[in-house]
């Protein structure tokens, strides 16, 4: 049995901020380089940089019929 987790490099980054979804001061943990997850409500946020850093809620478009 191979151990696939040894090759995967996962270095989460933790930052503090106010979640735009639940509007609570919380910790945000990076899922990938540009996406963060709110510890309080669990929403995924996308980091946008346009002179200042803003966190925009990520929208999943998965049509389930």
Contact in structure between 14 and 27 (CB atoms under 8 Å): yes
- Per-residue pLDDT of 1-50, as tens digits, reads 566 556 666 778 898 888 888 999 999 898 787 888 899 998 888 887 76
- The alpha carbon torsion through 22, 41, 32, 55 (nearest 10 deg) reads 0
Name the pTM for this structure: 0.65
């Amino acid at each position: 049995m191979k151990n696939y987790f040894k090759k995967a490099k996962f270095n989460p980054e933790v930052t503090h901020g106010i979640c735009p979804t639940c509007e609570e001061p919380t910790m945000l943990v990076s899922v990938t380089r540009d996406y963060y997850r709110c510890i309080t409500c669990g929403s995924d946020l996308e980091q946008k940089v346009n002179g200042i850093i803003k966190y925009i809620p990520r929208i999943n478009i998965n049509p389930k019929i």
